[in-house]
Amino acid sequence: MQKSSHTLGEWLLATRPWSFPASTMPVGVTLLWILTQAPALGVSFPAANWLLGLWALLNIVFVHAAGNVWSDIFDYKKGVDAPDTYGVRNLTDGLFTPQELLRLSVCLQLVAIAAGIGLVMLTGLPLLWVGLCGIGLSLLYPPLKYSALGDLVIMFCYALLPMLGTTYIVTGQFLPQVLWLAVPVGSITVAILHVNNTRDIETDRRAGIRTFALLTGRRIAAWIYLFEIFMPYVWMLALCALNLLPWTTLATLLSLPLAIGNARTMMSYRRGGVAAIARLDERTAQLQLAFSVLLMIGLSLSLL
């Protein structure tokens, strides 16, 4: 039975806060990367610009939260989320109505837009195009996800755009070199969605949508997931070998046991069925958090 009112905690949970590291960690990594690489790149910027970087970090949380709620509404109306499916239960269990979540999403999006306009006014018009692309992809995410393009959207929204945009916010110019780091961080972030879709192949087919995992089938999708979580470690080794990153960033290898554990869980679906990977999306989010935090620690150590 739907409640007539909700607590602040319930509204917060409706935004899926456990997923926020997927958006905040790329910004955090970029801020540390700028700090360590700016001298070598010949980039200088006022110390006060770090406050703008923190502003961007907070703003992307609102964008992410709004996108989560927006996506949940579409998934419920499309039948992707149903009483017998895994995942978000806010609408399927009647905790919220679609109208309530729509109001929440609009409010969060308005806050994000207002904060984004503030950043544009303080930095420059080029940032506007990054923001418009991010918000546009966030709003179009549900139909794009239903057309097997969700993985690509996630890579843009939670790796390429925020990391490139953060370099402009802090330094006043776009630094495309940061995209070397967008690949490993973004790959694990994409894996969060991919494992979710791999788990939900049957129910997504019933709902009449197409995801990348559904098109490949679960066996191939499982191997793609392994590539997405292990490739970042090979990528980091390559960047260090090419002197594009300090060797201290190999601290990311300390998260490898988590990746191995996730890989074993993914392949266990052959014995345990879909239930074996029911919570693997959350564990993949934890892997992304661990990898990113260790990367930031490695960048910080390079300053010593």
In the block, residue with structure tokens 């939260």: 65
Which pLDDT belongs to residue 3? 53
Per-residue confidence band for 1, with pLDDT thresholds at 50, 70 and 90: very low
Which pLDDT belongs to residue 162? 95
Could you tell me which residues are beta bridge partners of residue 210?
Answer: 147
pLDDT tens digits along 139-196: 899 999 999 999 999 999 999 999 999 999 999 999 999 999 999 999 999 999 999 9
The proportion of the chain whose per-residue pLDDT surpasses 90, expressed as a percent, equals 78
Domain annotation for the chain: domains and CATH numbers: 8-301 (1.10.600)
Which pLDDT belongs to residue 150? 94
- 215: closest CA among 145, 156, 136, 275? 145
What's the DSSP call for residue 47? T
Model confidence at 298: pLDDT above 50: yes
Which pLDDT belongs to residue 4? 55
pLDDT tens digits along 224-269: 999 999 999 999 999 999 999 999 999 999 999 999 999 999 999 9
Model confidence at 198: pLDDT above 90: yes
pTM above threshold 0.75: yes
**Which residues have CB under 8 Å from 132's CB, separation 6+?**
none
Asked if residues 86 and 195 have their Cβ atoms less than 8 Å apart, the reply is no
Asked if residues 197 and 211 have their Cβ atoms less than 8 Å apart, the reply is yes
Q: Can you read off the two tokens belonging to residue 260?
A: 């191995």
Could you tell me which residues are beta bridge partners of residue 147?
Answer: 210
Asked if residues 300 and 32 have their Cβ atoms less than 8 Å apart, the reply is yes
Which pLDDT belongs to residue 71? 93
Kindly state the average pLDDT of the residues 217-228. 97
Least confident of 73-82, 116-125, 157-166: 73-82
